[in-house]
Chains A and B, each alone.
Chain A
Amino acid sequence: MTASTLEKQPAPRASGAAFILKKATISALVALVLFSLMIGVRTEAGPQGGLIYWTRFGDLAAIVAAVFGGSIVVELLRQWWGPADRVRVVPPVVQNALSLAGRLLAPALLIFTFLVPVIFYDQRYILDLAILVLTYVMLGWGLNVVVGLAGLLDLGYVAFYAVGAYSYALLATNFGLSFWVCLPLAGILAAFWGVLLGFPVLRLRGDYLAIVTLAFGEIIRLVIINWQSLTGGPNGISGIPRPTLFGIPLTPGEDGLAARLGIEFSPTHRIVFLFYLILALALLTNWVTIRLRRLPIGRAWEALREDEVACRALGINTTTTKLTAFATGAMFGGFAGAFFATRQGFISPESFTFQESALVLAIVVLGGMGSQLGVALAALAMIGGFELFRGLDQYRMLVFGIAMVLLMIWRPRGLIGHRAPTVYLERNQAISSDLVKEGHG
């Protein structure tokens, strides 16, 4: 059809080396004029009160060169990764290299993650940070089921994190149950609360759903604060048992793992164990999500995000679809919560404020809703970035805000905005999200 060939022609716009060089030369000339007096000539009051001056052509040349080079870089970036509605003119070589890098990114990241305790064995700080990042990766993947796949905006995800953490803490301290017994229980309890939240919000969408889930998160936190006899109120619960390797504690004592293996005890063993524990939990979340996406229930979640009326016309039970999404997401939140409790050994309501929900939601949105790799990258950038910019003190949040605004301008659908189809009939081809506007035909 003629219509389709017309659509494919990119809008004509200036590009190519000549254009870039011209633009850079103009910028450099402007810089030369501007800075020739400001930098090139330096004046000062002399010892006799008269004006003396001397020239600094070296500095001037450096600045003009910097403008020239910078202008080329900016123009290239603008043409290759301009705002989302622009036509891209990335050369094929760069495109191929990028797509290869994109394919290798996930496996490379996974291998690197496995090796983190080996590489950074002596650096306790990095190990702790890695555990924190992985906790948020897991929370992000859990919330991704609800927000990214099913499209239900949940601002109270921290409630399930709290339910999981308190489930483990209370079961372990009161009944002496081990971590491995409590972990599934914490998940089940959180899933139960997920369904409980799901029922009243079945008919809500968008803003209204966000408000109710926000309130739900606060209710859970306030109940924890005020139910002093059970939860210890604001004092929290301390002395939560550390996890064991299937019954073998990681302690310096006689029956500890180190003694049994005949190696010298080191507190790092426990950290490394916790690292692999959260890595396993996060990978479980990821694996389950990827599997579910290929099943009818996962497809139904995504269809629900796209169009609820069409779902009903196709005979999808929207009630159970929504409830399973809430329950699945909540369950992973509960697992993460139980892990958090056993890692810290102490929990209090302060750890489960709205800020946590917002942070996890930001991770999901920045990563690209529905994209597993994107969520992992966003968690790394958000949590890792927070630590990286610690030196900037009060400017940290400012840097962060600017970075977020820029990201939303350049990649409005998040770091990884395209979604890979799960049903293939012939060749496999991902269609960039940039070609489709949200919710329109």
Chain B
Amino acid sequence: MTPPLLAIRGLRAAYGKIEALKGVDIEINAGEIVALIGANGAGKSTLMMTIFGKPRARAGRIEFDGDDITGVPTHQIARLRIAQSPEGRRIFPRMSVAENLQMGADVTECSEAERAAVLERVFALFPRLKERINQRGGTLSGGEQQMLAIGRALMSRPRLLMLDEPSLGLAPLIARQIFDAIRTLNRQDGLTVLIVEQNANHALKLAHRGYVMVNGLITLSGTGSELLQRPEIRAAYLEGGRRG
């Protein structure tokens, strides 16, 4: 069996005295979509940030492709071709769409031809970005900004793409377009994706496997469809606890 692309073991992280991650174990195999679901404040975003070295891990180990990256400085993580689309999109509002995309490509060394190829791929996935290529990022709609954030992350030709709440604040139709694009990326390009979501239903349908996080610990894991069937998941994340 090949080792997982990303392996996290016993990871602990804290903001001051408040421990946000209390020993998290996660594995992501190459070519998989893995969903991480959980309520607000469960530590999902912290886990993503800790992989990027901010906040630093207090204990545990993060391995990427067999190498220990636990102590690697934040700005070097992206050079390992782990890309992140942060929560709330965080595009550069006064810069044009083209510049936003270029920012994603700046960090990793790649030839002009490779860059053009990735750009074509991003435009194929999100034709709207091509239409708006010379507009300022801030003039885009929320959905387009999310497309831009994902496109920007893709520009570094990542081996692992981490998405933090890509459906945040989007209309259901636009959210579905985003999820479709992620599925396409995974099927056609073999991209490995870690997706952090509140929208458990969508995320688990999309993902091969899922993890459920509660109070800084992984409480459940399994394939996407397995988790969708679990009564406690249905009660907690899908029906809004209306039964209880």
Chain A residues within 8 Å of B, Cβ to Cβ: 3-4, 296, 299-300, 302-303, 305-307, 309-310, 312-318, 419, 421-429, 431, 433, 435-441
Contacts and interface: CB of A to CB of B under 8 A. Distances in A.
Nearest to A295: B106
B79 interface: yes
A441 B89 contact: yes
Nearest to B108: A315
Specify which of A4, A313, A429 lies most central, judged by the most chain B CB atoms within 10 Å of its CB: A313
Contacts of B84: 313-314
A237 B153 CA distance: 55
B136 A436 contact: yes
Contact of A424 (B78, B95, B134, B136): B134
B138 A437 contact: yes
Given A302-B92, A303-B95, A313-B86, A436 B138 contact: yes
B76 A315 contact: yes
Interface in B80-105: 84-86, 89-96, 98-99, 101-104
A315 B107 contact: yes
B145 A441 contact: yes
A316 B92 contact: no
Contacts of B54: 312
Contacts of B107: 314-316
Contact of A315 (B85, B90, B139, B156): B156
Given A305-B94, A423-B98, A441-B145, 12 more contacts: A299-B99, A302-B94, A302-B95, A303-B95, A306-B93, A310-B92, A316-B106, A424-B134, A425-B119, A433-B94, A441-B137, A441-B138
Contacts of A4: 141
30 contacts: A299-B99, A299-B102, A302-B95, A303-B95, A305-B94, A306-B95, A310-B86, A310-B91, A313-B86, A314-B84, A314-B156, A315-B108, A317-B75, A419-B94, A423-B98, A423-B101, A423-B102, A424-B98, A425-B98, A425-B119, A427-B134, A429-B134, A431-B96, A431-B139, A435-B139, A436-B138, A436-B139, A441-B140, A441-B142, A441-B145
B136 A312 contact: no
B103 A299 contact: yes
Given A423-B98, A425-B98, A426-B134, A315 B140 contact: no
* Interface size class of chain B, counting residues whose CB lies under 8 Å from the partner chain: 35 or more
A310 B133 contact: no
Contacts of B136: 431, 435-436
Contacts of B96: 421, 423, 431
A309 B52 CA distance: 11
A309 B139 contact: no
B42 interface: no
Q: Lowest 3 A-B CB distances belong to which pairs?
A: A315-B78, A310-B90, A306-B92
Nearest to B53: A312
Nearest to B73: A317
B134 A314 contact: no
A73 B128 CA distance: 43
B94 A436 contact: yes
A90 to B, nearest CB: 20
Contact of A313 (B90, B95, B142): B90
Specify which of A296, A421, A428 lies most central, judged by the most chain B CB atoms within 10 Å of its CB: A421
Given A299-B106, A424-B134, A428-B134, A316 B94 contact: no
B152 interface: yes
Nearest to B99: A423
Contacts of B79: 315
Contacts of B92: 302-303, 306-307, 310
Given A299-B102, A314-B103, A315-B156, A440 B138 contact: yes
Contacts of A425: 98, 119, 133-134
Contact of A312 (B75, B95, B134): B75
B78 A314 contact: yes
Contacts of A423: 96, 98-99, 101-102
Contacts of B108: 315
Nearest to A430: B134
B215 interface: no
A305 B73 CA distance: 21
B133 A312 contact: no
B111 to A, nearest CB: 15
Contact of A309 (B78, B90, B93, B141): B90
Interface in B145-189: 145, 152-153, 156
Nearest to B123: A425
A303 B103 contact: yes
B77 interface: yes
Contacts of B223: none
B47 to A, nearest CB: 14
A1 B99 CA distance: 24
A152 to B, nearest CB: 16
A329 to B, nearest CB: 19
Contacts of B101: 423
Contacts of A424: 98, 134
Contacts of A422: 99
B106 A296 contact: yes
Nearest to A437: B138
Contacts of A437: 138
Nearest to A1: B141
A440 B141 CA distance: 11
Contacts of B104: 314
Contacts of B156: 314-315
A421 B54 CA distance: 31
B75 A440 contact: no
A313 B137 CA distance: 17
